[in-house]
Amino acid sequence: MKNITTKLRSSGLLLKAPIYNAENIHAKNRKNAIVMFSGGMDSTVSLWWALDNYENVEILIVDYNQPHSIEIDKAIKIAKMVGAKYQKIKVDFPTSFWGIENHLTRGQACLMTSLAALNISHDGADIVMGILSTDNYGDCDRDFLDHIASVLFHPNDWSDIGIATPLRAVKNKSDVIALGYQYGAPLSLSWTCRDPINDKPCHNCMQCRQRDEALVSFYREYGISKDQYDKWSLVCASPYHPYFRDVSYDIHIVVEAFLQAGGFKHGKRCYVYTSPDGKQRVSTHISSIESLEEAGTGSFMDLIHIHGYLHNNYRWELCVSPNGAIAATDVLPNVSVIEEELIKKAEF
Ligand SMILES: [Zn+2]
């Protein structure tokens, strides 16, 4: 048993997966997402979830004169990294407003959903919010958010409007870190501090303390050391990313058939890097790495990318290069699922 634990620790894999209940997300549109993006840890994980679950993802960054303005610079860096369309809105509140002066976020969810609503077309969208199960402001309440979503709908709309709360699928912030770690989301670039010292986190304000405490719980609950976590997360790597490897004969045949039928039409620009375990892995949501000064070890390739979730929320991914090289997660669905997904790509 001790050997298994040692091996697990050096692999970067987590001891367990977060318990995940997708029913608490309330996604409705499934095609368009507007991610309310603060550049903090929670909204960064929400952004990665949205990139996984919607065809079109737009990012809204709101500058409302919050005291932690570094967050906005970080948000823009991360938005550029994923290559999604982003817009920054300036809402010029006086800094003497009590909530802003005192770093409180009362009414913030309500304000953000209203701002996002102004950007929804008749094609509808889900407003994606990084609200946690533990957030206890009244406007973070699920019933309240559902009501807001229902009143945003207009008779001329031809598609749904929802407010999706992906982080409500898990219990608390250490689970959110686990999700972000699995995604390989740039948690190290995300910003939380409300009271920075020389542009560095103070580790003393309430937000810093919550983040630091959540990280410590995450290390303990998920059986990973800080060193291992840093080694992977500082370069946006993840031991859960697909890597170039041999796959089963069945899958190999399906991929060959896909390529021979001219299925490779529109590749997705993906980041290919050497991970701390020496494998060539693919981060499918990163399409520019300028923001990640520490990385720079990878390159970009156009790949066909398919992915999904197995029943226990295990995320599978498979990437195909034009010359037939395959990167895949360790666990994959039945070959018929892969075939179906590749056919969709060929038709696109
Ligand atoms: Zn701080």
Say yes or no to pLDDT of 9 above 70.
no
Count CB neighbours of 109 within 10 A: 25
- Which ranges of the chain does DSSP label H, i.e. alpha helix? 2-11, 41-53, 70-82, 98-101, 108-117, 142-152, 173-183, 206-222, 226-233, 249-260, 335-347
Mean pLDDT of the chain: 92
**What's the Cα-to-Cα distance from 100 to each of 77, 95, 108, rounded to whole Å?**
24, 6, 11
> What pLDDT, in 10s, does the model give residues 260-309?
999 898 899 999 999 999 999 999 999 887 756 555 578 899 999 999 99
Q: How far, in Å, from the CA of 81 to the mean position of ligand 1?
A: 25
3-state secondary structure of 244: strand
Asked if residues 196 and 84 have their Cβ atoms less than 8 Å apart, the reply is no
Cβ neighbours of residue 245 closer than 8 Å, sequence gap 6 or more: 279, 326, 327, 328
Count CB neighbours of 157 within 10 A: 14
Q: How far, in Å, from the CA of 50 to the mean position of ligand 1?
A: 27
Q: How far, in Å, from the CA of 41 to the mean position of ligand 1?
A: 13
Q: How far, in Å, from the CA of 209 to the mean position of ligand 1?
A: 7
Buried b (16+ CB within 10 A) or exposed e, 302-321: ebbbbebeeeebbbbbbbbb
How are the residues of the chain apportioned to helix, strand and coil, as percentages rounded to the nearest 5? 40, 20, 45
Q: How far, in Å, from the CA of 192 to the mean position of ligand 1?
A: 7
Q: How far, in Å, from the CA of 213 to the mean position of ligand 1?
A: 12
Asked if residues 270 and 236 have their Cβ atoms less than 8 Å apart, the reply is no
Nearest Cα neighbor of 235 from 316, 300, 277, 297 is 297
Say yes or no to pLDDT of 32 above 80.
yes
Residues within 5 A (CB) of ion ligand 1:
193, 195, 202, 205, 208
Q: How far, in Å, from the CA of 103 to the mean position of ligand 1?
A: 11
* pTM, two decimal places: 0.94
Give the β-pairing of 315-320 and 161-164. Answer: unpaired
Residue the block writes with tokens 């932690």: 68
Edge-to-edge strand ranges of the sheet holding 56-63? 85-90, 56-63, 32-36, 125-128, 161-164
- Enter the tokens of residue 62: 């709101």
**What is the torsional sign of CA 290, 232, 183, 241?**
positive
Say yes or no to pLDDT of 112 above 90.
yes
Asked if residues 172 and 132 have their Cβ atoms less than 8 Å apart, the reply is yes
Count CB neighbours of 10 within 10 A: 13
Q: Which domains does the chain have, with CATH numbers?
A: 2-233 (3.40.50.620), 243-345 (no CATH)
Cβ neighbours of residue 136 closer than 8 Å, sequence gap 6 or more: none
Predicted local distance difference test score (pLDDT) of residue 305? 95
Q: How far, in Å, from the CA of 205 to the mean position of ligand 1?
A: 4
Q: How far, in Å, from the CA of 314 to the mean position of ligand 1?
A: 34
Q: How far, in Å, from the CA of 341 to the mean position of ligand 1?
A: 44
Query: Which is higher by pLDDT, 201 or 194?
Result: 201
Q: How far, in Å, from the CA of 207 to the mean position of ligand 1?
A: 6
Asked if residues 337 and 300 have their Cβ atoms less than 8 Å apart, the reply is no
Q: How far, in Å, from the CA of 138 to the mean position of ligand 1?
A: 25
Average pLDDT, stretch 36-59? 96
One-letter identity of residue 51: L
> What pLDDT, in 10s, does the model give residues 57-82?
999 999 998 877 788 999 999 999 99
